[in-house]
Structure formats: C-alpha cells, structure tokens
Structure 1
Amino acid sequence: MDMLINGQWVATKETIPVIDPWDGSLVDTVPHGTPQHVDQAISAAVSAFRSWRFSPVAQRMEILRKVADTVAHYLEDFARLIAREGSKTIREARKEVRRCVNTLSLSAEEARRLYGQTIPFDSFPGGEHRHGYWYREPIGVIAAITPFNDPLNLVAHKLGPAIAGGNTVVLKPATVTPLSALKLAQAFQDAGLPAGVLNVVTGPGGEVGDPLVSDPRVRMVSFTGGVEAGLHITRLAGLKKIGMELGSNSPVIVMADCDFDRAVADTVSGAFWAAGQNCIGVQRVYVQRPIFERYLEAFVAKTKTYKVGPKLEENCDMGPVITEAEAKRIESWIREAEASGATVHCGGQRGGPIGTVVEPTVMTGVTMAMKLGCQEVFGPVVALWPFDELEEAVTLANSVDYGLHAAIFTRSLSAAHYAIKHLECGGVIINDSTDYRLDQMPFGGIKNSGLGREGVAFALLEMTEPKVVCFTE
C-alpha cells in the first residue's frame, strides 16, 4: 500500500515490511517515508486549509458519514486487516471496526455542534455601546501520530474531530500497523475529501515523526503512545497545542461485597484484551482480604481457560504481542519480579511460532519497586494484592505516576463515592474493569497519562479555537 500526499498515492523505492506478529508472514509493504515527504505533506495540508477551513459543515458531515458507511460495509475486510497486521483476534478486531464506525458517525454529528455564545459587553462600565459574540474556528494543520494497538479506531479518533472542525491533517500511523490507517484514508478519498486535507506518511518516528512535530506550520500535535515518546515530542514541538494520551498502569479495587463472579470475569477480560496491549487494561488488582484467596483461585482458573493461538480463528481468545522484542521485554519483567520474590500463579512463559506469545500471566507478591508494580507493562500480565480497608486500596491505587482509568467493584454507594472522590485519574469505572471506553466520553488522564482529552466532542474543542467578535455602535 502507498502513502497519501496531496491526493496522490506515493510509492518509494525503499519499503517497510508489515509483518504478522503471530507467524512472521508478510502482510504487505508500505513506503519508507522521508523528511522530504513530510515537508510535501505539510505543504499540501497548509494549502488545502486555506479553503477547507471555510467548507460548509454539511459537507464535512456528509464526508464523515460516507466514510462511516464504507467502513461498516467492509467491516470484515477491515477486521481481517487489523487482525493480520496487529495483535488482535478477529473478534477483537471486529469490535474495533464497529467502534470506528461509531467514532466517525459521532464526528459527523458533533460537526454541527460547534456552538458559540453572545457576550454581554455592557456588563462592565464602558461597554454600553458594544455587542458581540464568540465562535470556534479550526486551528490549522494537525499532526496525528497513532499507536499500533488500535490501528483503526484511534486513527478515527484523530481524523474524525479534526476534519469535523475544518482542520487539515498529516497522519503518521504506527510503523508496524499502518495498513488499517491507509485503508481508512482511501475511504476518505473515495468519499470526496479534497486533496491535501488528509495526508498519510509512513515511516520510522525518528525519520518522519520528528520533522512532522517540529515543523512550525503544524499548529497542533495529537499523539497517542508512550511516556518517553511523549516527552520527546514536547521537547521538539515548540509553541503549538499538544494533546497526548500516554498510557497507564490501571488499578482495580475489589471490595468484599462485590458481585464476585462479575468482578472476576471483567477483570480477567480487562487484563488480557488485545494481549494486554491496552492503555486502560487491568494491571493491578487490589482485593479485600476476606475474599482474596477465593478471588485469586477463581481469577487463575478463569485465566487458564483462555485459548491463545492464531488470531483469525473464531475461538481464539488472545493472540501474540506486537513484536518479539516486546515479548522478550515483558518476559524479562516477569523474571525480574520472580527473582525479587513475586510468585507466578499461571502463565509467565514466552512461546508461539516466532516467540511473540506471552502466556496470560497472573502474579502475586509484586512490589511497587518492581517494574510490574510501577510501570506500564503493556502486555498480558496482571498482579493481585490483598488489602484491608478501602482507604488503603485507594492510596495504593494512587501510588504510581499514571492516572488514566481506575475501577472499583462494590455494592456500596458510600464506597463507590469515596473512590470517585479520592482516586487520582481521568475516569473512575464502577462495577466494571478499567477497560471500558465509550467513544463519546471525555477520555484522558492526569500525571504521566497525558494532556487534554479525546472523545469526539472533547477532541473537537481541543482542535478548534474561540474567536471573539465585538461590534461598537
């Protein structure tokens, strides 16, 4: 597949292979973009913005709806592509495609809700003969940088609001999973999006990402990825808007009065969805001591039922992680924790056809001094701890430098409201795992989990600016 610059599909002599992480087979190749391609893409976006910023809202809505319809029509094609190039099973991939359709549909609807407001200038002496209002304008060229774990829907979360708001975009998808994004770009082109409004450059972050985020013609960087890359971007970006979602180490608190079976099922699913490569995946589970041993036993038993294998098989529950290097890193974190006294109750081994499968792993005895305790593992590993009082669990939940989602299972409104008030995070989920997101809710975190909020309506506000109009009689 080629990359898209100014309405043209561009190939290069040097290409990048896209490899299926299950068996190492070649899925496709994409161009190896260069800084020159980035410059061309930004120039195209700048030029297109001159007219696209004034495009009728109805036109933007129509394009977004057409793209949503196209994705829905070709759901199985998109799903198989997601499953081949990434880590998701075919069932997980189908859910991502359905979410993408929803994200684009929401973007079309939110385009009509860019409201302004009148301003009472005469509310302060000297303003008696003034009247006016404010409204929102697009900010210009947006650099969108997306990760591998949701290669379609997280692209839609950037493109949908940006285009709905009248901006133009240069997208750099994850190097290991660029195909879904390119297929989506083709749908935008087929829907009649003018040349230059959306440009897609493929290539390594150091070669195409750095010149993209540092270019002064780019007025906003929207990035989803890791903390180190986020810090790197903030140093390069200069004076422009930045929106970032940088992951987490999500805690779940399980009270003794919970719906036991539901808590077990939801936390297991939340820990191992997409092989744990999920920014809101369950990594730490704090279980009240009276039910801890029973909960651990049930959690391990449920985990052992997971079928790990080829992603396109309908009964597959979990696939590989994205690369062998990532699998080795995750395995090393497990071995490091074991060497320091932690216990592996199930899983803990690496295998698969090319060494990319990490078994669903359940551990106890993990401490906050271990990487598994305080960092984001981004893999199928979860640790359980006992606690006595809710205040203790909340303190433990807050003890990391992340704050994206947290969750609590309880039948007590008092406990739920205590958690809501005291958990330091962007979202508190009650009686479900941290791995829940509705694409229209504000999504983001505090501390090292990021800056700003996604979720279509909220991203649209981030991607537009208010302009004040004042008439003097």
Structure 2
Amino acid sequence: MKMLVAGKWIDRDEQIEVLNPYDGSVVGTVPIATEEDIEEAISKAVEGAKVMKKTPIWKRVEVLEKAAELIEKRSEEMSVLLVKESGKTIREARAEVLRTAGLFRLSAEEAKRIHGETLPFDSLKGSEKKKGYFIREPVGIVAAIVPFNVPLALCAHKIGPAIAAGNAVIIKPPTQDPLTNLILGEILLEAGLPPEALSILTGPGGKVGTAIVRDRRIRMVSFTGSVSVGKMIMQNAGLKKVALELGSNSPLIVTETGNLEKAVKATVSGGFSQAGQVCISVQRVYVQRTIYEDFVDLLIKEVSKLKTGDPMKEETDMGPVIDEANAIRIEEWIREAVEKGAKIGIGGNRKDTLIQPTVLLHVPKDTKMMTEELFGPAVAVNAFESFDEALKEANSTKYGLQAGVFTSKIDEAFRAIETLEFGGVLINEGPRYRADFMPYGGYKESGIGREGIRFALEEMMEIKTIIFDQG
C-alpha cells in the first residue's frame, strides 16, 4: 500500500514488509517515508491547520459522522485485514472496527460542546469596568503515534478529538501493522477531511517518528506505547504539548468477600484477551490466602477452556503475539519466574508466536513478571494476608495506569480508592475495563495527560482569554 502525504498517495523504493504474526506470510508492503516526505507533510499541514481552524464545527461533525458510516460499511474488509496484520482474533478485530466507528461518533458529539466561559473580573477590586471570557482554539498540528496492539481504535482515540478540535493531523502508524491506518486515511478523505490536513507517514519510529516529534511546527504529540519510547519523545519534543499513554503491570486484588467467579472471569478476560497485549491487561493478581486455593483452581479450570490458534477461525479465543522476538522475550520472562521459584499452574509453552495462556503461582517480587510490563498472555497469582499488605504490593511498581479490587466491604473499597496510586481504580471490576468517554491515563511512569474523547479534545486546544475595559 502507499502512504498518504497531504492527501496524496505516495510510494517509495524502500519498503517494509508487513507480516502475518500467525504464519509469517507477507500481508503487504508500505514505503519508508523520506526526509522530503516528512517535510512535505508538515509544511502542507501548516496550511491544513489554517483550513481546519476556519472549518465550522458542523462541518467537522459531518466529516466525523460520515467517517463512522464508511467504517461500518467496510467493517468486514477492515476486520480481516486487522487479523492478518496484527494477529488478534476475528472476533476481537470486528469489535475493534465497530469501536473505531463509535469513537468517531463520540468525537462528533464532543465537537458540539466546545465552549468557553465568562470571567468575573468585577470580583477583583479595581477591575469593576472590565468584562471578559475565554475561548478554545485548536493547537494547530497534532502528531498521532499509534501502537501495534490496538492500531485502529487507538488511532481514532487520537485523531477523532484532533479533528473535532479543528486541527490538522499527521499519523505515524505502527511499523508492524500499519495497513488499517492507511484504510482509515482513505475513509477520512472520502468523508471530506481537507487533504492538506491529513498525512499518514509509514516507516520505522526511530527515523520517521523522531523527525516528526522534533519539528517545532508540530504543536502536540499524542503517543501510546512503551515507557522507553515515551521518555525519548519527551527528550526530543521541545516546547510543545505531549500526551503519553505508556505501560503498566496492572494489579487485581481479590479479597475473601469478593465475588470469586466474577474475579476469575475478570482475570481471564483481562489477562488473555488480545494475547495479553493491552496496557491494562491483568498481570499481577493478589488473592486473600483464605480463598487462594479456590481461586487458583477455578482460574486454571477457566483458562484451560481457552482455544488458541488460527485467529481467523471464529472459535479461536486467543491468537499469536505480534512477532517472534516478543514471543521469545515473554517465554524468557516466564522461565525467569520459574527459575526463581514460581510454579506454573497451567501453560508456559511456546510454539513460534503462539504462547499458551499461562498462570504463574507464588511469583517472587524481584522477577520481571512482577516489576515490568509483560505485554503477553500470562498472569501471576500470589496470596496475601491483610488488605493493607495487598494495597502495598499493588503500589510497589513504577507504573500506575489502572487497578482492580474485588470486595464486598465498603470501607475496603474506599481505602483502596484513597491508597492506590493509579489513574483508574475499579471496584468489583478488573483493570482491563475501559469506557471510551472516560478520562484514561496513568500516574508515575504510566504517562502524562488523559485520553477519553472529551479530555483529549481539551488537551488538543489552546485557551485564549479576552478582556474588554469599559472605563
């Protein structure tokens, strides 16, 4: 496929192969953007930003709603392509495509709510003759750097609010699975987005992404991905807005008064959907010792029912991880935990990019499984004595995206809310849950800023204050 440079489809001799994570077959190729392509995209985006700023809100809404309709019309085509390039199951892919359409509709609704406020200058002595208010204006050009795990929906989480706010957009899609982002480009142009306001530049992040981030004409960078890359973006961005949604190793606490069956269900869906390749996947599970054996028995029973294999088959519950390098790393982390004393309850084996859904028991604190982000299909299950001990263990991480707690005690619920250092605390629900309209982001090294359409939209705008003196 060709890349999109200011509304024009461009090809280059230097190409990247997009491989199917399941069988290694070539799904397609994309060009590697040159320095000239990047300059062309940004310089045209400067003009595109001016066009977008003058585009009335009703027209932005029309574009977003039309894009949603077109996504739904091409949903099966996009779903199949998403399976082939990302390895997620066909059921997961269909859900992501429909979610993407919904995100554009949410963005259209929030565009209608862009407003400012009057300011009470007469509350300040000596300013009785002043009247004023503030308004919101687009930042200009938003760079959206998209991750491989949810490439379509997380792209929409960035560009939907950016368009709603009246910005031009430059998308850097994931290197491993950029193809559905390019289809999204076709749809946005067909929906009526000004061509100079949209570019999709393919190629390695170190070359293409870094050049975009460094350019002073880019006024905001919205990135989802690893902590290490997030730190590099902060070092290269200069004086511009930056929103970072980074890693996690999300904890789930299950007390003896919590709903055992529901907690197990949350662990299975949260730990193994999309092969565990989600920022808020359940990774660390802390279970009160009085119910530990019952929880483990039920968890292993449910995990054993998961069907892994060909992601195009309707009955498949879990497909491969994104590539063999990551599969090898995940296998090594599981092996490290076992070598340090953890026990395998179920799973633990790998064949190429397919890793068995794995449950690790009694996992030492100093393992990568407990301290880093696995981004793979394994959960660690440890026992705790007191609730305070569980809260302390949940907080013992450099991350802070989302945490879940299962309890029937209201005092424990509120103690968790007050104590847990996470951007989201879910009571009687797993940390994997997310509603697209809610503020979403993390404490500590899990990021800066918040996603969620309204909250992202506000960050993609500037506030301008207006004051009249009537004296």
Residue 391 of structure 2 corresponds to which residue in structure 1?
A: 394
- The CA deviation at 1:79 is 1.2
Within 2, Cα distance between the matches of 1:337 and 1:263? Answer: 24
Q: Which amino acid aligns with 1:297?
A: D
Query: Would you say 1:407 and 2:407 are equivalent positions?
Result: no
Residue 267 of structure 1 corresponds to which residue in structure 2?
A: 267
Checking the alignment, whether the CA contact within 8 Å between 2:16 and 2:31 is kept in structure 1 is yes
- The CA deviation at 1:368 is 2.1
Within 2, Cα distance between the matches of 1:180 and 1:410? Answer: 41
Q: Which amino acid aligns with 2:357?
A: P
- The CA deviation at 1:78 is 1.5
- The CA deviation at 1:314 is 0.3
Per-residue CA distance 1:169-221 (angstroms, 9 max, x = gap): 11101000101111111100001111121110000011101110000111111
Question: Where do 1:11-410 residues align within 5 Å?
Answer: 11-351=11-351, 355-410=352-407
- The CA deviation at 1:247 is 1.6
Q: Which amino acid aligns with 1:54?
A: K
Q: Which amino acid aligns with 1:244?
A: L
Q: Which amino acid aligns with 1:383?
A: A
Checking the alignment, whether the CA contact within 8 Å between 2:100 and 2:152 is kept in structure 1 is yes
- In structure 1, the residue corresponding to 2:465 is in which secondary structure? strand
Within 2, Cα distance between the matches of 1:8 and 1:331? Answer: 43
Q: How many residues align?
A: 470
Question: Where do 1:439-458 residues align within 5 Å?
Answer: 439-458=436-455
- In structure 2, the residue corresponding to 1:286 is in which secondary structure? strand
Checking the alignment, whether the CA contact within 8 Å between 1:35 and 1:207 is kept in structure 2 is no
Aligned-residue CA RMSD in angstroms? 0.9
Within 2, Cα distance between the matches of 1:98 and 1:437? Answer: 15
Per-residue CA distance 1:210-267 (angstroms, 9 max, x = gap): 1100001111110000000001111111111100000200000011112211111121
Checking the alignment, whether the CA contact within 8 Å between 2:362 and 2:383 is kept in structure 1 is no
- The CA deviation at 1:107 is 0.2
Within 2, Cα distance between the matches of 1:57 and 1:115? Answer: 11
Q: Which amino acid aligns with 2:4?
A: L
Where has structure 1 moved over 2 Å in runs of 4 or more? none
Using structure 2 for the length normalisation, give the TM-score. 0.99
Checking the alignment, whether the CA contact within 8 Å between 2:51 and 2:194 is kept in structure 1 is no
- The CA deviation at 1:364 is 1.3
Within 1, Cα distance between the matches of 2:248 and 2:147? Answer: 14
Per-residue CA distance 1:292-343 (angstroms, 9 max, x = gap): 0111111111111110010010000000000000000011111111111111
Question: Where do 1:396-435 residues align within 5 Å?
Answer: 396-435=393-432
Per-residue CA distance 1:273-304 (angstroms, 9 max, x = gap): 10000000000000011110111111111111
Within 1, Cα distance between the matches of 2:453 and 2:329? Answer: 34
Per-residue CA distance 1:395-432 (angstroms, 9 max, x = gap): 10000000000001122222211111111100011222
Per-residue CA distance 1:6-37 (angstroms, 9 max, x = gap): 11111111111111100011111111112221
Checking the alignment, whether the CA contact within 8 Å between 2:348 and 2:357 is kept in structure 1 is yes
- The CA deviation at 1:459 is 0.1
Checking the alignment, whether the CA contact within 8 Å between 1:87 and 1:149 is kept in structure 2 is no
Per-residue CA distance 1:121-164 (angstroms, 9 max, x = gap): 12112212111110100011111101000010000000000000
Q: Which amino acid aligns with 1:241?
A: K
- In structure 1, the residue corresponding to 2:251 is in which secondary structure? strand
Q: Which amino acid aligns with 1:371?
A: K
Within 2, Cα distance between the matches of 1:445 and 1:435? Answer: 14
Q: Which amino acid aligns with 1:426?
A: G
- In structure 2, the residue corresponding to 1:152 is in which secondary structure? helix
- In structure 2, the residue corresponding to 1:196 is in which secondary structure? helix
Gaps of 5+ in 1: none
Within 1, Cα distance between the matches of 2:15 and 2:79? Answer: 24
Per-residue CA distance 1:23-61 (angstroms, 9 max, x = gap): 011111111112221111111111111221121000000
- Shifted more, 412-421 versus 446-455: the winner is 412-421
Within 1, Cα distance between the matches of 2:289 and 2:338? Answer: 23
Within 1, Cα distance between the matches of 2:425 and 2:196? Answer: 40
Using structure 1 for the length normalisation, give the TM-score. 0.98
Within 1, Cα distance between the matches of 2:375 and 2:369? Answer: 10
- The CA deviation at 1:384 is 0.3
- Shifted more, 245-254 versus 90-99: the winner is 90-99
Per-residue CA distance 1:79-130 (angstroms, 9 max, x = gap): 1111111021011111111211111100000001111000111211221211
Q: Which amino acid aligns with 1:298?
A: L
